[in-house]
Amino acid sequence: MRRISTDMPNNDAQFYLRRQEVDLNDIRTRIETGRKFNNLSDDPLSAAHSVRYASVLHRLEQYEKNAFYALDNLRITEGVYRQSVDVLQRIRELAVAGGNGVFTPDDMKTIGMEVNELLKELVTIANETGQDGARIFAGDKAFTEPFRLVEGTVDSGGENMVVRVEYRGAGASRRAETSQASYTDLDIGGGEAFWAEKMQIYSTFDATDYRARADGAFFIDGQEIQVTTGDTVAAIVAKINESPAPVKAYIDPTTRGLALEGANAHLIKAEDRQGSATLQELGIISANNDPSAPNWHPGARVSGGSVFDMVIRLRDALFRGDQDFVGSLGLGGMDLALGNTLSRVAELGSRMERVQATWERLNTEIPNTNAILARESGLDFASAATDLSMMDFAHKAALQTAARIIPPTLLDFLR
């Protein structure tokens, strides 16, 4: 049997009034935040969907930022790289003029002086810095000057002439994820951008009886090649050819040693993994395993020059007054340099087109995902406003009724 005291009507009225206030605060919070629910327990299914859609939306927005950055980076790279094309075009024009047989040796020497200055400008372009302070063509060695200019004395040319240009950068490795598990290369390494001929490296070490003495690995153009104990040179050749590296390997029929040939015009990068010495033992790289180029073994035969090598060779022929060389090998070297440079410009353009297409696709996916997220977690303001008005009216009516049913007494004032 329930005992009814004088406090029960008051306590019950306060309980139901507080519960109405909680409901009022809840719907007011929903209106303020614009969300259908304040806690995950309010609508577990919609909450689960909303969390998933919000996660997808966050990834898409990050992909969009990455695409913007990649597009800007590629535009800057292409703009700088096109300047090198203009310089090479001018050098080729001078090669055509110097090889037509109408200029005197002094005239050709004058042309050679201009080619030397254009060569310095070409090196300056190759060492250009981007908007973020990183060297554009240095690869992942972003703050290292990629090309070092070595000056000296040249026959018939005098002093302070460029005698060699060394590449000290690394292969392009920075990438941006522009969609799920899809990456865009941000850089083009100097060893690709400013190379003219396909490289060939021939080891003079007879590897007929070679056997790998321990498990190890080495890198060719950044691709890791695993070596197993007992591997022969033929097995190593097969592993290199099966890798994604743009290098063809074979056994030199004359020296019986390992030979590497680039699939396109670029600087081949070779390096033994720490603790391994496979390429050293095969006579490809030097014993110090210096990853910066050139690190070829002193006994290896290396061919295939850079764009700078082609320009230096042309300039020296102009200084000598060798019109036959200028009109044949000199001009041919410039054609190789321009051909590779133009193909790299096309490659940069293709990357830009891909990133642009990705950005346009993201501009469609992001609004669609936002609409789905709003449908799952967004509040219907018209319905919420109607509910708030009805609940507020009911709460005021309850307060008025409670005030009449439980009038204040003297005890209420004495508390």
CATH of the domain at 215: 3.30.70
206 and 152 in a single domain? The answer is: no
Which pTM value belongs to this model? 0.76
253 and 114 in a single domain? The answer is: no
Q: Is residue 374, in this structure, part of any structural domain at all?
A: no
If one compares 189 and 84, the residue with the highest pLDDT of the two is 84
Bond into 294 cis (ω within 30): yes
294 and 352 in a single domain? The answer is: no
179 and 318 in a single domain? The answer is: yes
Tell me the C-alpha distance between 288 and 294, whole Å: 12
Tell me the pLDDT tens digit for each residue of 52-95: 878 888 999 999 999 999 999 899 999 999 999 999 999 999 99
The dihedral sign for the CA sequence 310, 316, 318, 322:
negative
Q: Which residue segment(s) compose the domain that 211 sits in? A: 200-303
- Residue 86: the pLDDT is 95
SS3 92: helix
**Residue in this structure with the two tokens 């060719």, named with its chain if needed:** 220
Using pLDDT thresholds of 50, 70 and 90, give the confidence band for residue 171.
Answer: low
Q: What is the mean pLDDT of residues 363-386?
A: 72
Judged against a pLDDT cut of 60, whether residue 3 lies above it is answered with no
Q: Which two tokens stand for residue 171?
A: 């292969």
118 and 72 in a single domain? The answer is: yes
- Residue 302: the pLDDT is 92
355 and 279 in a single domain? The answer is: no
Tell me the C-alpha distance between 361 and 330, whole Å: 47
219 and 143 in a single domain? The answer is: no
SS3 24: helix
Q: Are 306 and 189 in contact (CB under 8 A)?
A: no
If one compares 409 and 57, the residue with the highest pLDDT of the two is 57
C-alpha of 318 from chain center: 41
237 and 335 in a single domain? The answer is: no
- Structural domain tally of the chain? 2
Q: Which two tokens stand for residue 172?
A: 């392009």
219 and 339 in a single domain? The answer is: no
Q: Is residue 82, in this structure, part of any structural domain at all?
A: yes
- Residue 102: the pLDDT is 84
189 and 212 in a single domain? The answer is: no
SS3 218: strand
- Residue 381: the pLDDT is 53
C-alpha distances (whole Å) from 345 to each of 188, 193, 283, 381 are 10, 9, 35, 54
Q: Is residue 415, in this structure, part of any structural domain at all?
A: no
Strands 182-185 and 200-202: unpaired
167 and 69 in a single domain? The answer is: yes
The half-sphere exposure of 251 on its side-chain side, counting CA atoms within 13 A, is: 14
Tell me the pLDDT tens digit for each residue of 102-135: 888 899 999 999 999 999 999 999 999 887 788 8
